[in-house]
Structure 1
Amino acid sequence: MAAHDEDQQIAALVRRLAAQFPALDTGAVEGVVAEIHRGFDGRPVRDFVPLLVERGALRRLSATG
């Protein structure tokens, strides 16, 4: 997956999660997604990174919201 495509998918993920968790500040959602996404830095296979980030963010945001 190209970096640009991954960035677009992550941005779309932030929008979806912000809509799904309206009680949370969008900046908080962005922060959670960015933190989880950084955990995949340097990994050679990128195809499933957006999905893995989404799963981790959903778990974390569900626990707080």
Structure 2
Amino acid sequence: MMEFSGNCLPTTIGSLPHTDAREATQLMLRYTPHIPAWVQMPKLPKEDMLAQFIEGIPGLV
């Protein structure tokens, strides 16, 4: 297993104000290359956390 040492590196939540996936990903990798997050762009209609992850939760349609 690879050893990880954060050394006070920046991290992100993943939500960016972009609508272009390539631009958002490039920004994420530029500033957090060692600890990238999954890029989410909540300004896009299907980039809502509930819409993306609610499918499959028992009791919810």
TM over 0.5: no
Q: Which of structures 1 and 2 has the larger relative contact order (alpha carbons within 8 angstroms, sep 6+)? A: 1
| TM-score of the superposed pair, with normalisation by structure 1 | 0.28
Pick the structure with greater CA Rg.
2
Query: Of Structure 1 and Structure 2, which has the larger fraction of its residues in helix?
Result: 1
